[in-house]
Structure formats: structure tokens, C-alpha cells
A = this chain, B = another copy of it.
Amino acid sequence: MLKKEKIPKVTIQRMAVYLQMLEELEEEGEEVVSSTRLAELCGVNSSQIRKDLAYFGEFGVRGVGYYVRDLIASIKHFLGIQKVWNCAIVGIGNLGRAILRYKDLSKKGYKIVGAFDCDPFKIGERVGDLEIICTRRLKEKAKDLNIKIGIITTPPNRAQRAANHIVEAGIKAIVNFAPTRIQVPDDVIVDYVDFSTHLIYLSFSLSNLGK
């Protein structure tokens, strides 16, 4: 089904947005949606949606549109999120705790199964139904818990060390919330979530409106 052609990162990101919106439409009881309508809701061009979907196959009905329920199932299938992905958080500060308490993640197919920190005063503390474990034990735990994604929520000066532990543990995907870049081997994928980058974009845009 999946064509050999490389699928651009932006396409995957938009896919996640379409999925979000389709699930809202499903909740509202909509059964069919056209690319034009979905495009409006997502704030993109309608042929963008058709092109994005075309990377994965043909899901629509000419003259009709897309069946919401079916399209949701198809997207989940080809994005690989019918199964559950186990994640570990490294760095249990305010943000780490907020993510641990974020219940909707499991609905989306992600489960946080390990909470790690290197502060001896935190180790052993319970957060939700997890106990905080020493980061040095990440490697041993990663196997037992089948952890596939590492989430870094340490302060920036600890992020590289956290990344090293994650890489050591054989985990191949990292989301880094710390506002710093990290160095990892080529076979590890890193995605950055940086709040200040977004604020900078907005304040720059505000400063330059109409230019």
C-alpha cells in the first residue's frame, strides 16, 4: 500500500491534524466529508489534503467525499497507531509531571510506562501510578518495559546526559522539550518541542505585520 517514495515530514504532521479533526467530526455525527470541507477546518488547501492522502493510497469516493469513520481507521493504520507505543519520561519537573498527568495520551496510542530522574530526593516518589526511578537504571528498564520513545523534560544543561542514557538504552526516538540541541547517533530520530521558538515566531510576526 505504502509507496516507496519518501513521505515528507510535513505530510505526517498534517496527517495528525486531519486525524484530530476527523475525530471531532465523527463525534459530531458527520459520516462523510469532502476534501474542501476538511481543508477549511484544518486551514489548508483542499488539494493538499488529496495529495497527502495519495501518498498512502486511495480512500475517497468520487462525487461523494470520504467516509469519516473509514478514513480515521485508514489513517490510524498507516500511521502505525492502532498499537500502543510505550514511552519514558526523563526529568520529572513541572513539565514532566504535567505530561504524566495528561490522560488523553493513552487514548491516542501512547503510554508512559517509566518516569526517570537523577535527583536522589525524587527517586522513589510516586507520580500517578508510576514510581520515579533513577535515570541510570533506564537501560535495564527499557528492555523490561519495551520502551520505544524517550521524552526529555530536564533542564537544558541536563538534556545531553538524558539523551545519552536514552541512546544507551537502545531507544531510537526522542522528543526533546529542553530548550537546547542534543547530539545523537544518526539512527536515532529527534524531534524538538520548544515553546520559546513559537513565542519568537509570534513576536517577530507581530513586529513585522504588513511588511
Contact = CB atoms under 8 A, between A and B. Distances in A.
A32 to B, nearest CB: 20
Interface string A67-95: 00000000000011100010100000111
A197 B26 CA distance: 19
State which size class the interface on A falls in: 35 or more
Nearest to A108: B196
Contact of A15 (B2, B173, B191, B200): B200
A181 B98 contact: no
Given A101-B94, A197-B16, A199-B149, A204 B79 contact: yes
A9 B201 contact: yes
Interface stretch (A17-25, A45-53, A134-142, A161-169): A17-25
Contacts of A208: 2, 7, 80
A113 interface: no
Given A94-B97, A98-B94, A202 B180 contact: no
